[in-house]
A and B are shown apart, each in its own frame.
Chain A
């Protein structure tokens, strides 16, 4: 299988869907002539032309709202937010309009829009640029939320997201853009709402998503090599719909759960997971659920300290050992 980067995987998904469906439009700041702030859309303008690949002014409320409106009338916009951090400027359009219009119209309308872009810390861009809003977004029935961790998942999930008839929020990661992974040359889809066990294990379930999957896999390897502990790593891949069954199957096997998320702890994705695990598998648990989150404060700039604010392999390792102690 060819090895491609996470960035290329997303680009290929966009290109294939642009090819397949003439109503797919890619829109956002610097996506066309500049080839994307993070070069995800590189070459798309040359291939598909300015009707399909559209540069916008810095007007997130305006262009995201425009995308929502266009999606109501048959367009399939794939909107790029240069950073997911800028979603707050377009919050009303996403949460009041995209999330609610189907409900308020009694099911007469649907919004097949995708909003995508990076949502992560770890590059020292400070508090205004490091938001990870998957929990905030998932709090709103009507929107779907996807956070892929590998090139394979990114491509297959984005293609599904573009074909989905509901608004899908697709959260990428600038640090993963350069990561390589195997991606089949032939077409495939990864359905939304299906978790993936990225490493099998028996002693402990690490439930995670996004870049934290990568950290967890590193920690799982150390647990295995240095401590003889067999950790299973469950990658949620999609936050809403949420594949709780795969999580519960893992819990039934290991009886111990560590949640790892690049996310502030209050009302996080992990909070919801913990509730569901204790509610549905209370008797399976041999220990309280532990979790590793972003340290509860706005994102610090200072480069060496930001590493400690975020989940990292050491913090995951330490939490796993605490849990098993």
Chain B
């Protein structure tokens, strides 16, 4: 296997967990079957092509509001979600398309949601920032920075309470770590030994603000203040993500222990499609990352070097992902919008289940 060496600064104060020198030798990666390795690659490719197609739809004014693209970060969601067992759960912020596809949501329902159609995963009610699939242990898709982190902690609490051997992964950005709710969640998780992994997807920027301009100290080290384990890895290599996350997930499931993990990554596009992205970083910085660390390219090179895939095989996967994205856009286009009557559905459980209503009085006002 080809290697991406990981240069990490060890932290003597609170002994971080680092990925093994060669993440490919981690048991969780050694045990991967060929088809599973290809599947990791395919999922990353599908995320990228889905989002590129969504971007075109946005530019054609088929999509409203915000569109926060995950392009450049695919290995993080795919690496983490590929480790999910039956009782593992995921929650993230508004940059959620990658996680949604990684947990197995279909492109049709995702694209239709962006188009605001009734066939969308949230019936056109949530939009890009608010994808959900509880049947796939995916709890959103949250628009308020940091707001999902206590929820992820609550998922872990529910797992522990119900005696289920699972873990919750609560994803957040490098800017979100400065929300008070995040720190309160850290303390609760550590104090109550909850099986939650706080995953910081550090793409270097929160909107137009670089990490240095928004955060004091190193982000994952804050865990040490709560006596929590922490780790850090390079996110461009999906195997490295898996190697590190596997340790913490196993520990969470077996010992019900929380951790903070920082995964270094990068976004190629503006914060959202509306961000012209020309004031706070140099184009060369983006190009450099794309050239040397693109997570899809990194895996692709490894798979070809290892003889798992041929360039033609890569091309086929790429074409299939493009075709699937185009078909999703056609599906979305052809789907109906919700109706004005739909506005007041899905607000109260009781209103949606009138036969089982127990409360009295008026629920809605005009």
The digit string for A283-311, where 1 denotes a CB below 8 A from any CB of B, is 00000000001011110111111101100
* Complex partner residue of B343 from A33, A88, A266, A309, CB under 8 angstroms: A309
List chain A residues, Cβ under 8 A from B208.
Answer: 30, 33-34
List chain B residues, Cβ under 8 A from A266.
Answer: 365
Q: How far is the CB of A267 from chain B (nearest CB, A)?
A: 9
Number of interface residues of A (CB under 8 A): 41
Q: Cβ of A70 < 8 Å from any Cβ of B? A: no
Q: Cβ of B349 < 8 Å from any Cβ of A? A: no
Q: A297-B344, A308-B343 are in contact. Are A126 and B337 (CB under 8 A)?
A: no
Q: How far is the CB of A81 from chain B (nearest CB, A)?
A: 12
List chain A residues, Cβ under 8 A from B176.
Answer: 58
List chain A residues, Cβ under 8 A from B365.
Answer: 264-266, 296
B65 and A58 contacting across the interface, CB-CB below 8 Å: no
* Complex partner residue of B338 from A37, A88, A123, A305, CB under 8 angstroms: A305
Q: Cβ of B178 < 8 Å from any Cβ of A? A: yes
List chain A residues, Cβ under 8 A from B126.
Answer: 126-127, 301
B207 and A29 contacting across the interface, CB-CB below 8 Å: yes
How far, in whole Å, are A34 and B146 apart by their CA atoms in the complex?
A: 21
How far, in whole Å, are A55 and B365 apart by their CA atoms in the complex?
A: 41
Q: How far is the CB of B141 from chain A (nearest CB, A)?
A: 10
List chain B residues, Cβ under 8 A from A128.
Answer: 129-130, 142-144, 147
* Complex partner residue of B347 from A34, A61, A298, CB under 8 angstroms: A298
Q: How far is the CB of B131 from chain A (nearest CB, A)?
A: 11
List chain A residues, Cβ under 8 A from B175.
Answer: 57-58
Q: How far is the CB of A44 from chain B (nearest CB, A)?
A: 14
Q: Cβ of B250 < 8 Å from any Cβ of A? A: no
Task: Give the interface of B toward A (CB within 8 A).
Answer: 64-66, 113, 116-117, 122, 124-127, 129-130, 142-147, 175-176, 178-181, 206-209, 213-215, 279-280, 337-340, 342-344, 347, 364-366
User: What are 24 pairs between A and B in contact, CB < 8 Å?
Assistant: A33-B213, A34-B209, A34-B279, A57-B209, A57-B215, A59-B179, A60-B179, A62-B178, A85-B144, A126-B65, A126-B126, A128-B143, A128-B147, A265-B365, A293-B366, A296-B344, A296-B365, A298-B347, A301-B64, A303-B64, A303-B116, A305-B338, A305-B342, A306-B64
